[in-house]
Amino acid sequence: MPTFFERKQIVTPGDLLAEGTYVAGENTYKEENKIYASKLGLVEYQDKKVNVVALRAFYIPRLGDTVIGTIVDVGFNGWTVDINSPYLAILRASDVLGRPFRPQQNDLSEVLDVGDLVIAKIIAYDRAHDPQLTVGEPGLGKITRGQVAKITPTKIPRVIGRKGSMVSMIKEKTGCHIILGNNGVILITGKNVEDEQLAVMAIYKIEAESHTSGLTDRIAQMIEKKMQKEELKNESET
Amino acid sequence: MSQKLEKLIDKKGLRLDGRKPEELRQIKIEVGIILNADCSAYIQQAKNKILAGVYGPRELHPKHLARPDRTVLRCRYHMAPFSVQERKSPAPSRRDIELSKVMREALEPSIFLEYYPRTGIDVFVEVLQADGGTRCASITAASLALADAGIPMRDLVVACAAGKIDNTVVLDLMDTEDKKGSADVPVALMPNFNAITLLQMDGILTHEEFEKAVNLALDGCKRIYVMQKEALKAKYESVKEVEE
């Protein structure tokens, strides 16, 4: 039962990863006892499971995911939301208003208009239907302030870090509140624009260097350096 | 056909551009050079210069084309007006439409189309400069762009042509050899499965010659496949080096 690559090596679609009683994990497929890669990415062998961590991907909705989306259309009984995925999501008016409504009387664009950002959860999705969203839980709903950063969805786990180490470090250092959408959209709200921008910069740096080691420390250093510079600037001004 | 022209193979057995019969042209491949497309690839094969761009999977428009059970792959092969010596009309010609179809059929078996129903993937191939064998180079580049876009695939697709000039079977015909020679056999291959996804022939070959041409083209495909893979990995390995 041989494996043909080392851990963390880059593989291309069609590469033979393992032969024998292995289980095909993420981004792989099995044919006649052989496991092949189906995406460009880094291999991971976990006991009997073979995974490929994709280097680039698009967001495929999953039940229970928190996503951040943009309203692209206002309909008669709901909104269409772009969630950075091949599929557009639906947000029903009854879900947002929480009461019966009459399309003739209520103007939905007064509640949410085209271009508004929402944090929502996916409550229904399968192959045959577009994903449906809900905002009926605490912390969900229209976004009123903050900044948004967009990264490849596969890199969200890296931004979170091991047991949330990365994201809590950024939160602590910049004093910003960070919400990660599983679809690769991240909302950052802080006391002032400078803090927010610092957090955005850190997140983009993580995305670009996600496959290198010792990243948490380097990001922490970067943030501290920038903070010191800001302070010096503020002091000289006053 | 060949009485009026000079020899395509000289006394030393070399071709017009100094290649041996089984030699490929110089190939350069790059991935991810167009930022506005979801992913892209560029291939340069001696005088051939071809760009491929991929969008998707995304919502398909017009919507009536969407299939409930799979992704729709759409390909567009197009030659720039300045890609050939005599200006080519930019409107899609009969040949452009045929090659678009041929490309789509060569790429379709390599993609897991059933993973993302009701969506579409668009592949655009623009030939900037043509010198024979553009359909093969287009397939090679398009497959790379698809792989880099993160679309799940069974295998990469790589294509190469073989043909017959001056009664010799040769690899990777260029434009003059294609026009003045007697046959051309383009082949596309999924190398890890040894599966042929495109096989065409124009001209006349005997059974033996045909077999020889196909084998030669397959051999060429495998050699290009090595370069194709390197190009795909190179994009990410260069990032790694900068940081280390």
Within chain B, which residues score under 70 in pLDDT? 1-6, 238-244
CATH class of A10-54: mainly beta
Confidence of residue A1 (pLDDT cuts 50, 70, 90): low
What confidence score (pLDDT) does residue B223 get? 96
**Is residue B217 a contact partner of residue B187, using CB atoms and an 8 Å limit?**
yes
For tokens 């009926």, what's the residue?
A: A136
**What chain B residue is nearest to A85 in terms of C-alpha separation?**
B58
* DSSP conformational letter for B11: T
Q: A-chain residues within 8 Å CB-CB of B149? A: 56
Q: Return the pLDDT at A56.
A: 85
What superfamily would CATH give domain B27-243?
GHMP Kinase, N-terminal domain (3.30.230.70)
Q: How many CB pairs under 8 A join A and B?
A: 76
Q: For A212, name the nearest residue in chain B, comparing CA atoms only.
A: B240
Across the interface, whether the CB atoms of B112 and A38 are under 8 A apart is answered yes
| Extents of the domains making up chain A | 10-54, 66-142, 147-237
Other beta carbons within 10 angstroms of residue A198's beta carbon come to 22
Using one digit for the tens of pLDDT, what is the confidence trace for A88-120? 999 998 888 877 777 777 788 888 999 999 999
Asked whether the beta carbons of residue A212 and residue B240 sit closer than 8 angstroms, the reply is: yes
Task: Say which CATH class A66-142 falls into.
Answer: mainly beta
Candidate from A27, A40, A128 with C-beta closest to B232:
A40
Q: Which of B154, B240, B244 sits opposite A13 (nearest CB)?
A: B154
For B237, which residue in chain A has the nearest alpha carbon?
A10
What is the per-residue pLDDT across A131-188, written as a single tens digit (0 to 9) for each?
A: 999 998 898 999 999 999 999 888 898 888 888 889 999 999 888 999 999 999 999 9
Model pLDDT, residue B37: 93
Q: Which residues of A touch B (CB under 8 A)?
A: 10, 12-16, 27, 29, 36, 38-40, 54-58, 60, 86-88, 127-128, 208-209, 211-212
Q: What is the rounded distance in angstroms from the CA atom of residue A114 to the CA atom of residue A128?
A: 26
Task: Please give the pLDDT value at position B2.
Answer: 46
Q: CB B192 to CB A60 under 8 A?
A: no
Residues in B closer than 8 angstroms to A16, CB to CB, are 192
| Domain regions of chain B by residue span | 27-243
Q: Are B34 and B40 in contact (CB under 8 A)?
A: yes
| Higher-scoring residue by pLDDT: B93, A238 | B93
CB contact under 8 A, B116 and A55: no
B152 to chain A, closest Cα gap in Å = 5
Looking at residue A127, its pLDDT comes to 86
The CATH homologous superfamily for domain A147-237 is K Homology domain, type 1 (3.30.1370.10)
Pick among A40, A43, A84, A206 to test the B interface (most B CBs inside 10 A): A40
Site of tokens 């996916």: A122
pLDDT, one tens digit per residue, over B169-205 is: 999 999 999 999 999 999 999 999 999 999 999 999 9
- Contact call for residues A87 and A139 (beta carbons, < 8 A): no
Residues of chain B that touch chain A, judged by Cβ-Cβ distance less than 8 Å: 39, 56-59, 68, 110, 112, 116-119, 147-156, 190-193, 229, 232-233, 236-237, 239-240, 243-244
The phi and psi torsions of B56 (rounded to 5 degrees) equal 115, -175
Task: Report chain B residues whose CB lies below 8 A from the CB of A13.
Answer: 110, 147, 152-156
> Same CATH topology for A10-54 and A66-142?
yes
pLDDT in tens, A49-84: 999 988 888 899 999 999 999 999 998 888 999 999
Q: What is the mean pLDDT of chain B?
A: 92
Distance from CA of A12 to the nearest CA of B (A): 7
Q: How many CA atoms lie within 13 A of B30 on its CB side?
A: 9
DSSP of B86-148 = SPPPSSPPHHHHHHHHHHHHHHGGGB-GGGSTTEEEEEEEEEEE--S-HHHHHHHHHHHHHHH
Report pLDDT for A4.
Answer: 86
ipTM of the complex: 0.88
